[in-house]
Homo-oligomer: A and B are copies of this chain.
Amino acid sequence: MKKLINTPESVLADALAGIDAAHPDLKVDHVNRVIYRAEPTRAGKVALISGGGSGHEPLHGGFVGFGMLDAACAGEVFTSPTPDQMQEATKVADSGAGVLHIVKNYTGDVMNFEMAAEMAEAETGVKVASVVVNDDVAVQDSLFTAGRRGVGLTVFLEKIVGAAAEEGQDLAAVTALAHRVNDSGRSMGLALTSCTVPAAGKPTFDLPDDMMEIGVGIHGEPGRHREKLADAASIAKQLVDPILSDMDFTGSPAIVMLNGMGGTPQIELYIMYNEVAKLLEAAGITVARNLVGDYITSLDMAGCSVTILKADEEMLKLWDAPVNTAGLRWGV
């Protein structure tokens, strides 16, 4: 295992210390492993909280800041944070207008966020709503998940719903919008290589030199099938086709992300984006906005994923609203 770490045990603590040192706009509660805005949530603003296992950076800590999340809790690598962490995040971010929990659909995350919501409501009376993101069309059930997994759409949801909360929408409106975004987007990913969890010290799965895993999960969970490595055009088709056959994206502006899994250089992501853009154009889909880069990663995995959101005018306006986080920044 070749990694820039001190010890496998200290990976999360050391990374949080680095985030703390690098970003004066953020504060880090190192005991509870909560990243939150240095500037407290203003009165009347709904607070947005997310979190999950580490190893997917910039998700979620990199999306804490103006226009996106108020706080994020970080579990160990590929491990759900505990209800206690989520409760701490809820407490630190709540300003009295309620809290939305943004939860990727993995069994541990869902269960722990539910417990955290109950605990927080019982203890402080905070109103907690939640949305479970489940955009991955690859498989219905998988390791870690009952139902579809939550992947790249989480980034779009945090951005769009974050802007709505920032402009003062109340908890009911913010929650309804979150569900609407979740219902309007789909994702699919692929791996060329496994990732290596530091505590395991070896690749999560074996993938021969000439094979790729179609529909891989962000923890290296199995996808739909394996096949021979192909060219970028064929790979793009294998990602885009299952998304388009799951939902009709014509007739509305689309927001598209070509996401790198952590070990794939930008030059390859642009090659893939080009192929994806051609397929979407051929399918009559208008791409209004796009992201190309590493937004939801799987440690050092080589590969990529595609996320498409069928946006409406409100989502597009909220997408364009100012955002100031480590991972996404414009308009300020």
- The answer to whether A2 and B267 touch across the interface, beta carbons within 8 angstroms, is no
Residues of B within 8 A of A303 (CB): 4
Complex Cα distance, B17 from A300, in Å, reads: 26
Interface residues on A, range: 35 or more
Q: A39 near B: Cβ within 8 Å?
A: no
CB distance from A321 to the nearest CB of B (A): 14
Interface-centre pick from A18, A193, A209, A294 (highest chain B CB count, 10 A)? A18
- The answer to whether B277 and A11 touch across the interface, beta carbons within 8 angstroms, is no
- The answer to whether A229 and B2 touch across the interface, beta carbons within 8 angstroms, is yes
Residues of B within 8 A of A21 (CB): 273-274, 277
Q: How many copies does the complex hold?
A: 2
Given A266-B262, A300-B263, A330-B332, residue A15 in contact with residue B271 (CB < 8 A):
yes
Interface-centre pick from A54, A269, A300 (highest chain B CB count, 10 A)? A300
- The answer to whether B300 and A266 touch across the interface, beta carbons within 8 angstroms, is no
Map CB proximity to B onto A188-213 as digits: 1 under 8 Å, 0 otherwise: 00001100000000000000010010
Classify the interface of chain A: helix, strand, loop or mixed. Answer: mixed
CB distance from A128 to the nearest CB of B (A): 28
Q: Which of A53-93 contact B (CB under 8 A)?
A: 54-55, 57-58, 62, 77
Q: A299 near B: Cβ within 8 Å?
A: yes
Map CB proximity to B onto A293-332 as digits: 1 under 8 Å, 0 otherwise: 0100101101110000000000000000000101001111
- The answer to whether B54 and A267 touch across the interface, beta carbons within 8 angstroms, is yes
Could you list 26 A-B pairs, sorted by A, with CB under 8 Å?
A2-B192, A2-B193, A2-B212, A4-B264, A4-B268, A4-B303, A6-B232, A6-B271, A14-B274, A15-B268, A15-B270, A15-B274, A16-B270, A17-B274, A18-B269, A18-B274, A19-B270, A22-B258, A57-B266, A264-B300, A265-B300, A292-B326, A300-B302, A329-B329, A329-B330, A330-B332
New A-B contacts (7) at CB < 8 Å, excluding given A3-B268, A18-B292: A2-B302, A4-B304, A16-B270, A18-B271, A18-B273, A262-B265, A294-B294
9 tightest A-B contacts by CB?
A18-B270, A18-B274, A57-B266, A262-B265, A4-B268, A2-B192, A21-B277, A18-B273, A17-B274
